[in-house]
Amino acid sequence: MESNARLRDFIQSFSHLIEHAGNDEVRILADGKNLLSALIRHDDWLPEAFAQPSVDRYQQYLLYCDPRERFSVVSFVWAPGQTTPVHDHTVWGMVGVMRGAERCEEFELDPATARLRAIGSHHLPTGGVDLVSPRIGDIHKVSNALKDSVSISIHVYGANIGALKRHVYDLHTGQKKPFISGYTSKVIPNIWDHDAE
Ligand SMILES: [Fe+2]
């Protein structure tokens, strides 16, 4: 399959899901996970420009945003050793590892102490998909699990994630600070040039 077709098919299928599932987050996460699993099964479609690591920090390339900002698709590119701060999302999200491996650490705020409490961590191998949302657990930290190579994950969120007001957390005090992630890229892939295929 031509490389643009995989991303275009995914976006068309995800748009169909969002139109029919409405605000049914359980259905979006279940069916969306299947769509994302199928997309990351083939590591042959992400254009090179959206797979470039940087020594400065992990990269977040916007691949697509729904016209009504009901969902967005982002490639995260991690150089060895790179990690996110502890952060929340405030909307549903899914992380699918397409190349390499990642480490996911989950936290929750202890209402009694207002401190962050580590509640688990796991290794996400190539092909693995992790889910987050305020309903099922929304605070985590994600890292490249590989010490000597780049990892790439494809993320889908229930909003225009780069423009969304959310939070990063101080691991020790639990204090949260406003955070808007933005995007690394100024352009998005052109998936609509059918004739080129
Ligand atoms: Fe996250």
What average pLDDT does the segment 22-31 reach? 97
- Cα 89 to ligand 1 centroid, rounded to whole Å: 6
Contact 154, 73 (CB under 8 A): yes
Contact 46, 75 (CB under 8 A): yes
Residue 1, pLDDT > 80, answer: no
- Cα 190 to ligand 1 centroid, rounded to whole Å: 26
Beginning with the edge strand found earlier in the chain, give each strand of the sheet holding 139-144 in spatial order. 115-124, 102-110, 139-144, 86-87, 166-169, 176-179
Q: What is the pLDDT of residue 197?
A: 65
The Cβ of residue 138 has, within 10 Å, a number of other Cβ atoms equal to 20
Q: Place 8 in a pLDDT band, splitting at 50, 70 and 90.
A: very high
**Dihedral pair phi/psi, residue 55, rounded to 5°:** -70, -20
- Cα 195 to ligand 1 centroid, rounded to whole Å: 36
- Cα 142 to ligand 1 centroid, rounded to whole Å: 7
Q: In this predicted model, what pLDDT tens digit does every residue of 122-157 receive, in sequence order?
A: 999 999 999 999 999 999 999 999 999 999 999 999
Q: What is the pLDDT of residue 174?
A: 84
- Cα 87 to ligand 1 centroid, rounded to whole Å: 6
Tell me which CATH code domain 48-186 carries. 2.60.120.10
- Cα 141 to ligand 1 centroid, rounded to whole Å: 7
- Cα 184 to ligand 1 centroid, rounded to whole Å: 16
17's enclosing H/E stretch is: helix 3-21
Residue 45, pLDDT > 90, answer: yes
The mean of the pLDDT values for the chain is: 95
